[in-house]
Structure 1
Amino acid sequence: MAKAPKTPQEVFPEIVADLKGAYGDALQSVVLYGSGARGDYVAGKSDINFLVVLAEDAAEELEKILPAIPRWRKRAVATPVIMTKALIASSLDVYPVEFLNMKRHYRVVCGEDVLMDLAFDRENLRRQCERELKGKWVLLRTGFLETEGKTEAVRRLLAASITAFLSVFAALLEIKGRAIPGSRREIVSAVAEAYGISPDPFLQCIGLREGRKDAPLAEMKSIFRSCSAEIGKLTRAVDELRVS
């Protein structure tokens, strides 16, 4: 029976073989990104994420890999992102945050390096960061109500929220030309310094994400209130930010 691999590298040969068997020379690139490329993949918990780049004439032939999808799922491989080089180039103005985060940590498994030369317009980044922050802020507040004040539900909400915000935080540092640190805590501290907010509630959320179980409900409600308030400040700062 197929099982989750101990490392992402274990699935490289079978993924590449499946894709080459389906697309042949039309397969231009296979790129590992996400936790597997960052070095924090956890067997049995993490998904393995791939960007697959195909030639234009093969990009609509998705049915060719349908038989492989169930096998990949059993090996913890998420459904791959299938794109063309032209689609990547034309998407940088709309999804710069996603591509920036992909470019921060990736590994070319097969073919061309389609991420190395990507460049990002800072105003496009700012617009998406503003949109993402406001959307995630609303989801955080709505999610808090949906917890009904139950301890474990609040803990899960706060632990999940920090992952969502960190992807935006990295882009906020890019906008200001700041180096993007490698660790979650360093990213939070850098954004707090750059935008004049408190890092404390986000650092506490990281602790919950990393497995802290002893926080009482009253403390987590306080973390939520502080987190929501600081996201509000950050949203206003990004809204008012002018980039050249």
Structure 2
Amino acid sequence: MNNHLEEILRQFIEDVSGVYGDAVLAVVLYGSAASDDYVRGKSNINCLILLSEVTPQQLKKCSGYLGKWHDNGIATPLFIDPVYVNSSVDVFPIEFLDMKQRYRVLYGQDFLRDLQLQLTHLRFQCEQELKGKMLRLRQLYIERTQSPQDLTRLLIRSLSSFMVLFRALLHLRKLPAPQSAEEILTGLSQVQLRVDAMRKVYDLKRSDLTLTQSELNSLFADYLSEIQATIDSLEKMDVSAT
């Protein structure tokens, strides 16, 4: 963690504690800001707040702080309570897995540590999400194919959303939990999946590299092909044998 991020988180905890007091059971930092993937000014700072009970009245209390939080790079927090957690692990296993693999408790109890996720639930959601995002990616490509800037942004943003699903796929393969995008790509290559185009998209995010319209269209075609191959491998996966 860098000093700038630490100061932002310190102020955030002060704000949350001041607003909610004893109703706060935990505050958790998750995602790229809890890993080596965090890039100041580019990565969101994602936080989850566990309250004893979430009500509209409780949600409204923090509205006056959103401007400050957003200015500091903090996305609008997720608010959940214990009842929601216990009733949702079978519906959102990918989201909970993603949190469990990259998180840091900023305040209170570590409720994520002992959450149990079923592989059958995880596989179903993973396939559903991958296919849905693939369809949406095709639609957005049609809308943005004429603009190099828009197409570049589409590639970068889509890769971030796919990374969450790829991390779940590697979990299904019983591989060690990857902490960074680079580790995810390495893991995919270890299970015989091509990631050359994905690596190029990742490089676009991490650098000031600029590609021509022709290069972007070619990259997109290869990128789409690699994602489809990943979906194909998941369809053949026997969870009971992993």
Global fold match (TM > 0.5): yes
Q: Distance in 2 between matches of 1:231 and 1:46?
A: 23
Residue 233 of structure 1: aligned partner: 229
Q: Which runs of 5+ in 1 are unaligned?
A: none
Q: TM-score, normalised by structure 1?
A: 0.88
3-state SS, counterpart of residue 50 of structure 1:
strand
2:200 corresponds to: 204
Q: Given that residues 50 and 79 in structure 2 are in contact (C-alpha distance below 8 angstroms), is that contact kept between their aligned partners in structure 1?
A: yes
2:214 aligned partner = 218
Residues 4-52 of structure 1 deviation map (CA, whole Å, 9 limit, x = unaligned): x962221333322332232221211011112221144343333322110
Q: 1:73 to 1:183 in 2, by over 3 A?
A: closer
8 Å CA contact 1:6, 1:43 repeated in 2: no
Residue type at the aligned position of 1:230: E
Superposed, 1:88-107 pairs within 5 Å as 88-107=85-104
Residues 66-103 of structure 1, C-alpha deviations (whole Å, 9 max, x = no match)? 22222322332221111012212221111111111111
- Secondary structure of the 1:76 match is coil
Structure 2 CA distance, aligned partners of 1:68 and 1:160? 27
Q: Which runs of 4+ in 1 moved over 4 A?
A: 57-60
CA distance in structure 1 between the partners assigned to 2:27 and 2:66 by the alignment: 16
Match of 1:29 among 26, 30, 38: 26
Indicate how the Cα distance of structure 1 residues 90 and 151 shifts in structure 2: closer, same or farther if over 3 A, else same.
Answer: same
* Structure 2 gap segments, 5+ residues each: none
Q: Is residue 26–residue 58 contact of structure 1 (8 Å, CA) maintained in 2? A: no
Correspondences of 1:61-100 after superposition (within 5 Å): 61-100=58-97
Report the count of equivalent residues: 239
Q: Distance in 2 between matches of 1:96 and 1:164?
A: 15
1:187 and 1:93 map into 2 onto residues whose CA distance is: 24
Alignment partner of 1:151 is 2:148:
yes
Distance in 1 between the 2:150 and 2:16 partners?
40
Please, what is the CA RMSD of the aligned residues? 2.2
In structure 2, what is the Cα distance between the partners aligned to 1:39 and 1:197?
Answer: 24
Rounded to whole Å, the distance in 1 between the matches of 2:175 and 2:196 is: 20
